Structure 1
Amino acid sequence: MPAYVRNLWYMAAWEHEVPDGGMLSRKLLDQAWLVHRLESGAYAMLEDRCPHRFVPLSMGRKQGDVVHCRYHGLGFGPDGACVHTPFPASPPGHVKAATMPVVARYRALWFWPGDPALADPSLIPDFAFLDSYRPMTRGHLVMQGNYELVTDNLMDLTHAEFLHVETFGVNGSLFESGAQTVQQEADGAIWNKWTMTDARAPAWAKPVLGEGARVDQKLHMRWHAPASMALLVEIGKAGTAYGVHLLPPMLNPHIITPETQGSSHYFYDHEPTEQARDMAMQVFVEEDEPMIEAAQAALGETDFWDARPAILKTDAAAIRCRRALMQLRRREAGEAEAP
């Protein structure tokens, strides 16, 4: 499997997932990590493994900013240094838990697994819309598939025509009335934009617009490495320049972080209703995940490119994302970049 790109910001959790006065343990990039909130309001991130006898620090207790191992009572500060020992000696200076930079932004916690000297918070992708006052429920689930397979799914919106017929109701409009544009921006963002003009209205809109009504619709997905995506959905009555919306414009996060090479954390949000939750679970768990899981099982340990995938024109955005990660891996490995 390809190596992880290290000098990037990954999402570890939503802030609300870290319990007050407690700790969150989560496997990220094949390692178990512990996140806890400091008395200052900032956060610390330590490897969830005591360097003494390797038991999870999350089995212990938190006292102030210090995490105490349950096995022998050693205490570790935010920088991973052993700052407390119950034994009649000074804390051993050579005993230290691994740490990573972690920053709170956009109601989420972001970690940097590479060179700490390069961990510039200004490089966190812009998800400022998550700070909106509008109430949203923020969720997390684990999908059994490699994070690049999940990215393929999200960056190729044509699968909605086949997999999300009931939930999205696009009714063939992507192919009948849609135009695709793929753009890459200076900050590395890659956009996959599907715009449907004068398209057939989805079934759910007919009671509002009447039989035979037409709509204009945008499905625009933005990607930042390694797999931080945002989806813009806008739908309005045809010919009104989106002046007559059928739904309020929607902007939602789809942020993916590897748990392991074969499983991924999926961070998302939805309207705070039971109906919205059920729809999200139907889309992610009942419709998307079985396809991603099946693709993962079919590939096994075979590299994506070694499997010689067929590439369609509509795959342009997803392939650009894969190639961007390939270039970043080469750069970190000190190799010459491919053209």
Structure 2
Amino acid sequence: MKDTATGLTKGAQLIPNGMLDDNAPRNMWWCAAHVDEITDKPLARWLLENPVVLYRLSDGTPVALDDRCPHRWAPLSEGKVIDDQIVCPYHGMEFGADGICTKVPTQTSVPNSARVQSYPLRTSGAFVWIWMGDPEAIDHDPVDMGFTTDPGWSVITGYMEVQANWVLIRENVLDLTHIAFLHANTFQQDDWENAPEVHMEGDTIVYEQDFPPSPLSPLFCAAFGFEDKHIVKREQRGWMPSLAVSFSDWNIHDISAELGKRRDFIGRGAHIVTPGERGKTHYFFVASFDSPNAPVALLEKTKAGVISAFQEDKDLLEKIQAQVSRDPRGLDFPEINLGADGAGVAVRRVLKRKLEAERRA
């Protein structure tokens, strides 16, 4: 029997073993790091269940290589970058940005097989993106994150490692009906009872929702210059142009603004997920406001509140992952979909198409 709200067979999972298996497409851009994380000192990071080392050349170009020397498998991230070569800490072998070994200290010749995989990187906004699939399949740029470095915006960025599959986070941030329950003490926004309208714009998932005048979440009042519980009219619009990143715009209308004062504001969140080690996810987040030069103290206060709210998500998602992982029934357990799950169901459909396309390639 199919659920009329979602079009899915009740109890059926679109992605078999989605929470327990490696379920990340390779032929797409994933976030490797915040731009400030990558320096001339090697950075070790697990991405898509592979160990990767990230560093910058002397001209600032970021580099990503497999973090495993081909000689005796020492982590290259434990070495140093000298004259744009990363030097293995074990026997001093040197590798260029293309992953090819350029020097073996104990001999004059370099074996042809002495190389490691290199990965294409591109910078978009405040983040560096990695392509870990077939480089010949690159046919688009990373998602435009230009607003994160736009001086017209005040921007907060943060990071958490979440011990849960990335799909759990992706579905969570596209279904805001949990805000009234999981975030009752942080967001304090209890008017999410009605499911948003969900549709596709090309390959982009979009949800939209209109709210009657109500108190704005205290997490954002200060950033807009409002007193706590200030009554506003708001419209929510979220979109996921890539499995790696989704956005959520809080379009705020100050219905009590004095004549001649600013009335319309935008708060934009971005949720960026990258699979790490199996069962773990790198979660980069952005909270931004279309007002420049917000005081640092105000942004720090806002960031602390946002982190408190996202910690609530993290704690519950990790409990879900741990329980399903330990339960011998695994995914052989009924899973229903509700009317509010339209965006989450669309995520699974997009993911299924991408995984199937890569399997056929």
Question: Please, what TM-score do these two structures have when normalized by structure 2?
Answer: 0.81
Deviation of the 1:236 alpha carbon: 2.0
Aligned match of 1:314: 340
Aligned match of 1:298: 323
Q: Residue type of the partner of 1:39?
A: S
Asked if 1 retains the 8 angstrom alpha-carbon contact of 2:155 and 2:287, the reply is: yes
Aligned match of 1:100: 119
CA distance in structure 1 between the partners assigned to 2:326 and 2:48 by the alignment: 17
Runs of 4+ with >6 A deviation: 207-211, 243-247, 301-305
Asked if 2 retains the 8 angstrom alpha-carbon contact of 1:216 and 1:239, the reply is: no
- For residues 89-115 of structure 1, the C-alpha deviation after alignment (integer angstroms, 9 at most, x for no partner) is 222221111111111121211111111
Q: Residue type of the partner of 1:331?
A: A
Any idea what SS the aligned residue of 1:104 has? strand
Aligned match of 2:4: none
Compared CA separation, residues 220 and 306, structure 1 to 2 (3 A): farther
- For residues 44-91 of structure 1, the C-alpha deviation after alignment (integer angstroms, 9 at most, x for no partner) is 110111111011001111112210001101000011000011123222
Any idea what SS the aligned residue of 1:54 has? coil
Q: Percent identity?
A: 28
Q: Report 1:66-215 matches (<5 A).
A: 66-120=85-139, 122-133=140-151, 134-171=153-190, 173-175=191-193, 180-186=196-202, 188-196=203-211, 198-202=212-216, 215=232
CA distance in structure 2 between the partners assigned to 1:333 and 1:11 by the alignment: 23
Q: Residue type of the partner of 1:274?
A: E
Compared CA separation, residues 163 and 247, structure 1 to 2 (3 A): farther
Any idea what SS the aligned residue of 1:249 has? strand
CA distance in structure 2 between the partners assigned to 1:297 and 1:114 by the alignment: 29
Residues paired across the two proteins, number: 323
Asked if 2 retains the 8 angstrom alpha-carbon contact of 1:139 and 1:269, the reply is: yes
Aligned match of 1:11: 31
Deviation of the 1:132 alpha carbon: 0.9
Any idea what SS the aligned residue of 1:50 has? coil
Partner residue of 1:236 out of 250, 253, 256: 253
Deviation of the 1:149 alpha carbon: 0.4
Measured on the aligned residues, the alpha-carbon RMSD in Å equals 2.8
Q: Residue type of the partner of 1:189?
A: T
Q: Residue type of the partner of 2:233?
A: D
Compared CA separation, residues 304 and 157, structure 1 to 2 (3 A): farther
Does residue 280 (structure 1) correspond to residue 306 (structure 2)? The answer is: yes
Asked if 1 retains the 8 angstrom alpha-carbon contact of 2:205 and 2:343, the reply is: yes
CA distance in structure 1 between the partners assigned to 2:284 and 2:127 by the alignment: 10
Deviation of the 1:174 alpha carbon: 2.1
Aligned match of 1:56: 75
Deviation of the 1:119 alpha carbon: 2.1
- For residues 257-299 of structure 1, the C-alpha deviation after alignment (integer angstroms, 9 at most, x for no partner) is 01123111011134643312211220111x1111101111222
User: Larger relative contact order (C-alpha < 8 A, sep ≥ 6)?
Assistant: 2
Deviation of the 1:12 alpha carbon: 0.4
Partner residue of 1:260 out of 277, 282, 294: 277
Structure 1 unmatched ranges of 5 or more: none
Deviation of the 1:165 alpha carbon: 2.0
CA distance in structure 2 between the partners assigned to 1:11 and 1:217 by the alignment: 30
Compared CA separation, residues 199 and 77, structure 1 to 2 (3 A): same
Structure 2 unmatched ranges of 5 or more: 1-20, 289-295
CA distance in structure 2 between the partners assigned to 1:208 and 1:246 by the alignment: 12
Deviation of the 1:167 alpha carbon: 2.3
Asked if 2 retains the 8 angstrom alpha-carbon contact of 1:102 and 1:110, the reply is: yes
Asked if 1 retains the 8 angstrom alpha-carbon contact of 2:93 and 2:101, the reply is: yes
Question: Please, what TM-score do these two structures have when normalized by structure 1?
Answer: 0.86
Deviation of the 1:246 alpha carbon: 7.4
Partner residue of 1:324 out of 350, 358, 361: 350
Any idea what SS the aligned residue of 1:124 has? coil
Q: Residue type of the partner of 1:127?
A: M
